[in-house]
Every structure is written in structure tokens, then in C-alpha cells.
Amino acid sequence: MLTVGKKFPEFKKKAVVSLEPGKEFDTITLKDIVNGKWTVFFWWPLDFTFVCPTEITSFNNYYDEFVNRDTNLFGASIDSEFVHLAWRNSDPNLKNLRFPMIADTSKSLSKKLGILEKENKIAYRATYIIDPEGVIQHVSVNGLNVGRNVSETLRLLDAFQNGGLVPCDWVPGEATL
């Protein structure tokens, strides 16, 4: 698995960026996510499942918190951009997403990252925090059946952006070492 201290790999993928007719799709590359800002890039296994929309909705609910930290937010799965669009159009909780849903239909990016589950060939629930230079500063991977805690992702982002030595159980506003 690609891990901390490594550069996030190059990629070029289709993504759903809007529900406006004629403007639904765009191409996203590494340059779009590494643009002088921090980035949180999270993966879910499959569209039209049970745990995945709870996570996607939660990341969307915290979208302004990421923006306030000058941080890009991207989500991805191995489903196509057309499946992403159909899911967004059919699930009321996904209609107003404010971040791109990237399609890794070839599984090339999930393979480069080393997050493909071997038996079903779907991506694990992986979360990457990437610094403005494109270096992975944090990666966490959950099994397929357990969702993430977006508040913890924000706490980790705050800790990395702090730039100091951050002790165990630190919360924003507390002193660092």
C-alpha cells in the first residue's frame, strides 16, 4: 500500500462535478488535487450500497470545514462516472454534493495506491491526507463494513496543518509540544 512520505500517484480520471445538464462531467488529474493546497481524498467501495452514502453525506456536511482549512476534498470509487451520476440523481442525500466523485473504472489508481480488496476487486474505505506538495501525510484504511469518522479526519488535518509536534489526544486549540 502506498503510504506516508510517498508522492500521491499521477492519474487522469473522469468525475461527476455537477448535476447541471451538459456540465455533469469533468476530467480530474493529480494537478487538480495538488494545487498548493492540502487535500483529503477518500474512497468508498461501491455506489448504491448501504454504508457508503452515510460517509459521502458526512464528508459533504463538513465541506465548509474543509474549505475553511484551505483544503480540497475529493471522493472516488471504482464505479463509472455514469453510475456516480445515476446514484446522485436517485439518492436525495447525494443531490447536493459539493465535491467531485471520481470514477476509477480501470482500477488503475486504486491499484497504484494498493487499496484494492483482492476477492471482489473493489477499493477499501481509504482516506488520504495529502500536503500541498503532493506527499501523503496520512492514510487510513477501513474494512468494507465500517464507516469513517469525518470529525477525526478534520482533527488530523488540523494537526498536520499545525506544523508542530502534536501530542496524543490533541484537539485544535490546545497547546502542542
* H or E element in which residue 157 lies: helix 150-162
- Our answer to whether residue 168 is catalytic in this structure is no
What 3-state class would DSSP assign to 161?
A: helix
Phi, psi (degrees; rounded to nearest 5) at 141:
-135, 125
Q: Are 52 and 78 contacting, i.e. CB atoms less than 8 angstroms apart? A: no
Catalytic residue among 16, 52, 102, 129: 52
By CB atoms closer than 10 A (0-12, 13-18, 19+), residue 126 is buried
Residues 145-152: contacts with CB under 8 Å, at least 24 apart: 145/51, 146/51, 147/51, 147/54, 147/55, 147/58, 148/42, 148/55, 148/58, 150/55, 150/58, 150/59, 150/61, 150/62, 151/62
Q: Which residues are catalytic?
A: 52
